[in-house]
Amino acid sequence: MDDDAAVLVSAITDVGQWRWWASEFPKLFQLEFGGVQIYERPADPTRPPSSMLALRFRNPALVAFMRRTDSPNIPADWHTKLHDDAIEPFPMSVDAFAFDDDDAIRKIVSERTSEVEVHRGEGSTAVRVAFWAGPVGVHVEAAELELVTLNGKITSQELVELHHAWWDYWKDYWKKRGTPEALPKSYACEVTIPLKAE
């Protein structure tokens, strides 16, 4: 995994949540995450930054939803409910997100107890991703990957810059927290607690 990919994985998995997915097979599959450690200045200064990021896979060759537990709290059609916003987002599992790493992907996929393959196509598998978000996960292979925020597509380098900007924002957030200059409450900041507030 290169440095940009490592930053992407860290930004998503540290305190992120898998919130939604959408598809337009055979051309497109998209995963949406919240609580991602990226900073884009909010249009409304009375609200926190969105911390939303989508991974948009072009020309997917494989999309499979996975489970690694038979927990009665997770319905069999959980993936449909996630798409329909009819179930709570799933917190990401740290150290269980593989990006273009065949050995790590095989390990993640080997932990599944069940799988629902929703798409299989032909074409490039240049981009390969698998991850767990608690008891559920996904395995995707596709020709291309785009990173998308509420402001539109970004490059991997821009993602790195947004991640660094988030840490600057986080420091400022905790510095001002509890003061008259406190910034709007942010989920991602609140669950990323400093050892000592500056």
pLDDT in tens, 111-134: 999 999 999 998 899 999 999 999
The burial of 72, by beta-carbon neighbours within 10 Å (0-12 exposed, 13-18 middle, 19 or more buried), is given as exposed
What is the mean pLDDT of the segment spanning 30-55?
95
For residue 82, is it within any domain?
yes
Q: How confident is the model at residue 72 (pLDDT cuts 50, 70, 90)?
A: confident
CA geometry: angle 89, 91, 94, nearest 5 deg: 155
Q: Give the span between the Cα atoms of 28 and 57, in whole angstroms.
A: 6
For residue 173, is it within any domain?
no
For residue 197, is it within any domain?
no
What is the mean pLDDT of the segment spanning 161-178?
97
And the tokens for 187? Answer: 């989920």
For residue 78, is it within any domain?
yes
The 8-class DSSP code of residue 182 comes to P
Domain that holds residue 34: 3-153
What was the pLDDT predicted at 70? 67
Residues 156/163, Cβ–Cβ less than 8 Å: no
Q: 0.75 cut: is pTM over it? A: yes
Backbone φ, ψ for residue 170 (5° rounding): -60, -45
Q: How confident is the model at residue 10 (pLDDT cuts 50, 70, 90)?
A: very high
For residue 96, is it within any domain?
yes
pLDDT at residue 197 is higher than 50: no
Q: Provide the number of structural domains found in the chain.
A: 1
**Of the candidates 155, 130, 156, the residue with the CA atom closest to the CA atom of residue 18:** 130
